[in-house]
């Protein structure tokens, strides 16, 4: 028998790094954090625009693809996932959005006491180190550095804001403040011009603790059951290089392997739909039919424009522009390299019947296409360009993650079942109509030389939907595959994040979302980890 730990955390992503810090902080518990990928060392992880380097890098990215999507003409969509300390939080675009009050109130209404917005807001505050100080909704003592991009954005973002004003859309001074709905400038989890991930801010300082062990390049293969017990977890079988061995947990194993990895490990360990597992020759330990189901994501498409004024394309496409941006970054930690390219945007109602914002927009002062081929580079278009992108806040399509064999090293099937409901198709049309109305206002008409794609020849609903189906992509917010709820028939974990019917096992990451939140989901995932750590620590062993 190898070393025995109190807690074993599988997956050092956005959630896992926070758990490793919080559970080891008192010094009382021996904690093991294991991660399939390696260290997040080096300049590109810190430089905000550096994420383009990991977008197609198999060393730091699982580079999954979805199954062919029935409602997208059979296209398979790219699903990058971080495979490195910090997980997807080390390779993401750093847009920081808490979400809409109703998102979390719906979590609570789904039978999860303690997860309404008023309950989770203190955990958002706990995370945040906001330069403008604390307020009802914002924290200033937390670890994650927040940089509002307001006042730093490219000048053409003002034309977008003026276009929103011209349509009479509300303004949001802060999407994480008093008013969520409206046009505005995004905040980012960036500190002094560098990525502020949970790995950098929580895990790195905790690594000097003697009671925290971090194993990189270590992949969990399956959960281990206590001898003589049907469903009490006592450890994990892992693979390091070509060596397989067991690690033991005296208290709990916590799965933080993300929305793909966590349900995969449950299924490989006999926890999932009994019939399906039997069909794969896997002994069923706990029949939990919803493991892997309820997969949700934000599906997004872009409208591309040629501008009659310089944009970031001019800066990034010229040697002089690159040198200037590089110098500005090195000397001041400011400028375009220090920010996300998703600078402006907002949350809007797609129709007057909507009770709240149901669409998210991005205005990027840079236009680029994401290549279909994994060996290609993300490159700005060779002209002064910008783009507007959109996704629905709360799409109703749900899909699933399913293993095809007991081997956790085999990729599971990822089927988000995108755009499978009439509701989601209608929201796509609402968003496209909004973008066309925006581009028709005087401030944007004065900026736009040409709508490059889809182009003005595409205007009927049928043409718009066809454009969307041909060009949409994931915005990388997979979640919901081990959903929290009170009933083992309809959910996977309870409100304490314990797996129904299994002892010594929790899931704490984006897979526990009962419903996807409005906006980008890294902040809610880190909130889940902060609250999850409290739940673990307050659960005294019997
Ligand atoms: C390209 C990209 C851009 C994004 N942009 C944004 C953004 O701008 N804003 C935002 O809010 N969100 C963004 N997201 C989404 C956000 O980053 C993720 O939703 C969030 O990081 C998920 O956190 P997690 O802890 O659930 O999982 P992850 O952070 O994905 O962590 C899971 C970890 O578990 C490890 N793992 C998996 N299986 C095993 C195993 N068997 N054994 C050991 N380790 C394992 C993985 O390698 C990984 O490190 C983006 C995501 C991507 C990929």
Percent of the chain exceeding pLDDT 70 equals: 98
pLDDT of residue 374: 65
Report the distance separating Cα 401 and Cα 492, nearest Å: 14
Q: Is there an atom of ligand 1 within 6 Å of 203 CB?
A: no
Report the distance separating Cα 12 and Cα 257, nearest Å: 7
pLDDT of residue 3: 78
Ligand 1 midpoint to CA 15 (Å)? 8
DSSP string, 260-316: HHHHHHHHHTTEE-HHHHHHTTPPPSEE-TTTT-SBB--EEEEEEEEESS--HHHHH
Answer yes or no: are the C-beta atoms of 6 and 517 closer than 8 Å: no
Report the distance separating Cα 483 and Cα 302, nearest Å: 30
pLDDT of residue 49: 87
Query: pLDDT tens-digit profile of 286-325?
Result: 999 999 999 999 999 999 999 999 999 999 999 999 999 9
pLDDT at 542 > cutoff 50? no
Domains and CATH numbers, the chain: 1-146+193-292+479-542 (3.50.50.60), 150-185+299-392+420-471 (3.30.410.40)
Report the distance separating Cα 406 and Cα 60, nearest Å: 24
Q: How far is CA 122 from the centre of its chain?
A: 20
Least confident stretch, 12-26, 30-44, 377-391: 377-391
Report the distance separating Cα 33 and Cα 374, nearest Å: 30
β-bridge partners, 401: 414
How many CB atoms neighbour CB 422 within 10 A? Answer: 9
pLDDT of residue 375: 61
Q: Is there an atom of ligand 1 within 6 Å of 529 CB?
A: no
- Residue with the two structure tokens 């949700």: 296
**What is the rounded average pLDDT for all residues in the chain?**
96
Q: Is there an atom of ligand 1 within 6 Å of 523 CB?
A: yes
Active-site residue numbers?
477
Q: Name the token pair of 361.
A: 């927009």
pLDDT of residue 2: 63
Percent of the chain exceeding pLDDT 90 equals: 94
Report the distance separating Cα 49 and Cα 60, nearest Å: 16
Q: Name the token pair of 225.
A: 């059951």
Pocket test residue of 175, 476, 531 for ligand 1, highest count of atoms within 8 A of CB:
476
């Amino acid at each position: 028998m190898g070393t025995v730990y109190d807690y074993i955390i599988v997956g050092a992503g956005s959630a896992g790094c926070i758990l490793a810090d919080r559970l080891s902080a008192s010094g009382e518990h021996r904690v093991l954090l294991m991660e399939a990928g390696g260290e997040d060392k080096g300049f590109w992880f810190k430089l905000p625009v550096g994420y383009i380097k990991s977008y197609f890098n198999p060393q730091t990215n699982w580079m999954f693809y979805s199954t062919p999507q029935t409602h997208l003409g059979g296209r398979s969509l790219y699903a990058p996932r971080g495979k490195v300390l910090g997980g997807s939080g080390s390779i993401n675009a750093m847009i920081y959005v808490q979400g809409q009050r109703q998102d979390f109130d719906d979590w609570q209404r789904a039978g999860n006491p303690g997860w309404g917005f008023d309950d989770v807001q203190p955990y958002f505050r706990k995370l945040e180190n906001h330069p403008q100080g604390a307020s009802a909704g914002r924290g200033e003592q937390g670890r994650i550095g927040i940089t509002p991009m307001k006042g730093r954005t490219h000048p053409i973002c003002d034309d977008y804001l003026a276009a929103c004003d011209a349509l009479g859309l509300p303004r949001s001074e802060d999407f994480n403040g008093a008013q969520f709905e409206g046009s505005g400038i995004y905040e980012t989890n960036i500190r002094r011009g560098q990525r502020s991930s949970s790995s950098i801010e929580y895990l790195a300082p905790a690594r000097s603790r003697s009671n925290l062990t971090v194993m990189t390049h270590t992949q969990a293969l399956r959960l281990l059951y206590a001898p003589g017990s049907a469903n009490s977890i006592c450890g994990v079988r892992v693979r390091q290089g070509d060596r397989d061995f067991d690690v033991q947990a005296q208290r709990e194993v916590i799965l933080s392997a993300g929305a793909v990895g966590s349900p995969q490990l449950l299924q490989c360990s006999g926890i999932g739909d009994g019939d399906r597992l039997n069909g794969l020759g896997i002994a069923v330990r706990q029949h939990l039919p919803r493991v892997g189901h309820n997969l949700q994501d934000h599906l997004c498409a872009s409208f591309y424009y040629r501008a009659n004024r310089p944009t970031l394309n001019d800066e990034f496409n010229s040697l002089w522009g690159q040198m200037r941006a590089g110098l500005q970054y090195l000397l001041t930690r400011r400028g375009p390299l220090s920010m996300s390219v998703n600078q402006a945007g907002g949350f809007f109602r797609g129709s007057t019947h909507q009770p709240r914002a149901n669409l998210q927009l991005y205005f990027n002062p840079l236009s680029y296409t994401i290549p279909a081929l994994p060996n290609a580079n993300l490159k700005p278009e060779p002209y002064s360009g910008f783009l507007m992108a959109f996704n629905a806040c709360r799409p109703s399509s749900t899909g699933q993650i399913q293993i095809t064999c007991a081997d956790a090293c085999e990729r599971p099937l990822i089927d988000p079942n995108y755009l499978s409901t009439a509701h989601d198709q209608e929201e796509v049309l609402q968003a496209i109509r909004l973008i066309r109305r925006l581009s028709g206002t005087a401030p944007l008409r004065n900026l736009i030389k040409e709508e490059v794609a889809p182009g003005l020849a595409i205007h009927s609903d049928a043409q718009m939907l066809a454009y969307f189906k041909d060009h949409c992509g994931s915005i990388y917010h997979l979640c919901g595959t081990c959903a929290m709820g009170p009933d083992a028939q309809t959910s996977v974990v309870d409100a304490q994040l314990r797996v129904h019917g299994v002892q010594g096992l929790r899931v704490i990451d984006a897979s526990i979302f009962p419903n996807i939140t409005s906006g980008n989901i890294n902040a809610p995932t880190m909130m889940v980890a902060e609250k999850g750590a409290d739940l673990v620590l307050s659960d005294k062993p019997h």
